[in-house]
């Protein structure tokens, strides 16, 4: 999912400036780069929610495993 979002963002960024554009061209600086589409916003929201859900699942499993294990040896100084 992250790779798809990254590829989408990268391809959109590549379309903003033509290959033969002069970076010092004043017209290039004044050009409107366009707005973010609703589809792009929804993709980024979906990626964020997916990451949050996976992190919550992993964190819950870590906490459950830590709570089940009662016989953890505490380190002591010699």
For 1-32, the pLDDT digits (tens) are 778 888 787 777 766 655 555 556 555 555 55
Instruction: Give pTM, 2 decimals.
Output: 0.46
Residue 72 phi, psi (nearest 5)? -85, 125
The dihedral through the CA atoms of 70, 72, 75, 78 has a sign that is: positive
Q: What span, in angstroms and rounded, lies between the C-alpha atoms of 23 and 48?
A: 33
Q: Which one is predicted more confidently, 70 or 67?
A: 67
Count CB-CB contacts under 10 A for residue 48: 11
């Amino acid at each position: 999912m992250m790779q798809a979002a990254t590829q989408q963002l990268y391809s959109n960024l590549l379309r903003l400036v033509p290959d033969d554009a002069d970076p010092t061209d004043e017209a290039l600086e004044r050009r409107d780069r366009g707005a973010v589409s609703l589809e792009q916003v929804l993709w980024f929201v979906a990626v964020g929610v997916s990451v949050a859900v996976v992190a919550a699942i992993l964190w819950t499993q870590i906490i459950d495993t830590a709570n089940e294990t009662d016989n953890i040896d505490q380190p002591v100084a010699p």
